[in-house]
Amino acid sequence: CKIGLKVLASGLLQADFPDFVDRALRTWSVPPGRVVIGIHETAIAGSLDRVKDTLARLKRLGLRLGIDGFATGASSLSNLAQLPFDELKLSAAFVTDMQRTALHGKIVRALVRLARDLGLHLTAEGVADGETVLALLALGCERVQGTHVSPPLTAEEILVFEKSGSGLAKLRLSDL
């Protein structure tokens, strides 16, 4: 099970942010490899050098890094090339309409291919129906998130779900 943390631009720009994360991991005995720091693409805009340093320090701690909401804000292929991301979360803005809007379907297909070619794990956000799940799987998308899989959960609900042993790894395609 991965632990996902969203980081605001202000957090990335704090010089001691990686030290804070390191202390938290040690305090709670959380293996860094289980943690994915999710950074919305808009948090990168304008401060690339400072963000690059922070992300490098987080990677040295053993954390995984993801870019959230990709393709709707300040998307830049340059950022994908310069920053040490492990994961890409494709914005729901395109995923939601990919079955109804041909252009959105083409954009999703191209971004799935891009993520695969760059060696990035890909999650499609905003999946609301089984038809979209099947279309994404056919394109080679590894993971989906959205109301079709689960409604948003509180931290407490996630812990209960995790302790129950009914993790998503046990779901079959037919369950979706």
pLDDT of the residue at 173 = 39
DSSP string of the chain, one letter each residue = --EEEEE-HHHHT-TTHHHHHHHHHHHTT--GGGEEEEEEGGGTTT-HHHHHHHHHHHHHTT-EEEEEEETSSS--HHHHHHS--SEEEE-HHHHTTTTT-HHHHHHHHHHHHHHHHHT-EEEE----SHHHHHHHHHHT--EE-STTT-----HHHHHHHHHTT--GGG--GGG-
pLDDT of the residue at 133 = 92
- Name the residue type at position 48: L
Each of the 176 residues of the chain gets a pLDDT tens digit; together they read: 567 777 777 778 888 999 999 998 999 888 898 888 888 877 777 677 888 899 999 999 999 999 888 877 666 787 788 889 999 989 898 999 999 999 999 999 999 999 999 999 999 999 999 999 999 999 999 888 888 888 777 767 766 766 666 554 434 334 44
pLDDT of the residue at 20 = 92
